[in-house]
Amino acid sequence: QVQLVESGGGLVQHGGSLSLSCAASGRIFSGYAMGWFRQAPGKEREFVAAISWSTGSTYYADSVKGRFTISRDNAKNTVYLQMNSLKPEDTAVYYCAADPAGAYQGSSYLQTPRRYDYWGQGTQVTVSS
């Protein structure tokens, strides 16, 4: 059983930055992938970024490439999402997710929400114009 808790959301003006954290209970083992997803009101949940716990390989949605960075701290059982150059369209609830079998999967697999077994409660990110 894995519990995930996101933090770091808030209100920021366009062009600003926020850093999100996702703390996982217990240990995240080498087979895991960790992902960030977001969902705006009335919209489907969409993939943002993912990272393999073992290899460190990262994957990004085209919409955030060059602006967002996902990283991990294995010792702290924590995954981060550094968000720079934020745009109003980045406004959403951001969710952290864990996939116990995703470490060696490809981008298509990791972009699919149903592949993830554990989800955090979400943290609101609002980017003003």
What is the per-residue pLDDT across 82-112, written as a single tens digit (0 to 9) for each? 999 999 999 999 999 999 999 899 889 999 9
User: 125 - beta bridge partners?
Assistant: 10, 92
Residue 67, CB-side half-sphere exposure with 13 Å CA sphere: 17
Residue 24: both structure tokens together: 């996982």
Indicate the SS3 state at residue 19. strand
Task: Work out the average pLDDT over 30-54.
Answer: 95
**How much is the pLDDT for 83?**
98
Task: Work out the average pLDDT over 103-128.
Answer: 94
Beta strand 18-24 pairing with 78-83: antiparallel
Distance CA 15, CA 57 (A): 27
